[in-house]
Structure 1
């Protein structure tokens, strides 16, 4: 809004400098970019990220399978974690020796982390595996993927707007420096006693 007011104010002002008009037009262009183009960039990036992440969700759902594992025996706890966030999560899980049947029908066994506080022989828990029974992480869900896509869109829009505003400020800064340099040159030409010129002193 200030850019539009600035342009209107400087239209026919006799004190207007070329740099004043350039600065006002630059501010108006930056404002229009931030209000129109940056949101479009964010929307495009968000849509592309959404397509890619939702495809990843579909791929992971096809490749990963939830199976039921059975506790054979509880194993000793791992060394304590100094990070309070991960250690609180780890407290609700236990290392166990377990066995499970892979989606391809083969019997599997191994050391896994079960979401059981006090596991006992014969307890059942859910486990994610690939088609051959190898343990994999839980697949990405659609809501999380959509959240990441929205964040990517917002981030792209903010980055575009910030880049334009930063570029505008850099250009204005250089223009002001040139203006000051010209003033210094004019001051040097006028000399130290410019105020007494023509007074007969």
Structure 2
């Protein structure tokens, strides 16, 4: 027996099996397709997601600019209330855009600051206060997490579709066995019971 035939037999033994059914071949191809689509599609989905997330974070870093603002009221050292953390609390600040327009808004500031203190806030393209964009390292980690999640979600969908296809094939085999038994069973003689 030559090497190619031996390899073919080793990997596709069921092809020469006299008991194989059409559904067995279809199921084997479904399993192979699920693995290939999961591997290739998951990688593509992950890469596309990581690239898209990285673009969003880069745009945020480009659009969000630091602006000097002035605190409008004293912020006591120990503040307890809604919207506070242990060392920050919401307070009103005022800043001037490069075009000369003056804005006031609330933002989180360190506790214990006096009115008139200068702080740095981030503003977006519309001149509204926004959070600091993620650094390149933080963006890379977050893009990786998002890519992994997207790839896993894609793999779950593909595996679920493959499981559904295999379940339907199994149902068809059971129905076929039932029909065949209805034809062959009476030929076996008397029934017990």
Q: Establish whether TM, by shorter chain, passes 0.5.
A: yes
The alpha-carbon deviation at position 98 of structure 1 amounts to 4.3
The correspondence of residues 54-69 of structure 1 with structure 2, limited to 5 A, is 54-58=58-62, 60-61=63-64, 64-69=65-70
Looking at structure 1, the residues matched to 128 and 48 of structure 2 have their Cα atoms a distance apart, in angstroms, of 36
**CA deviation string 1:128-166 (max 9, x = no partner):** 34689x541134233343334323322332222222211
Instruction: Determine if the alignment matches structure 1 residue 172 to structure 2 residue 173.
Output: no
2:146 aligns to what SS in structure 1?
Answer: helix
Partners of 1:174 and 1:12 in 2: CA distance: 24
Say if 2:116 is the partner of 1:112. no
Q: Check whether the contact 1:67–1:129 (CA below 8 A) recurs between aligned residues.
A: no
Q: Which whole-Å CA distance do the structure 2 matches of 1:22 and 1:73 have between them?
A: 74
Aligned residue for 1:80? Answer: 81
Aligned length: 181
Q: Which runs of 5+ in 2 are unaligned?
A: 1-7
Q: 2:88 aligns with which of 93, 102, 113?
A: 93
**Residue matched to 1:37:** 41
Residue 23 of structure 1 is aligned with which of 24, 27, 30?
27
- Can you give the 5+ residue segments of structure 1 that lack an aligned partner in the other structure? none
Q: Confirm or deny that 1:154 pairs with 2:148.
A: yes
Structure 2 match to 1:10: 14
The offset of 1:43, in angstroms, is 1.4
- What is the Cα-based RMSD across aligned positions, in Å? 3.4
- What's the counterpart of residue 163 of structure 1? 157
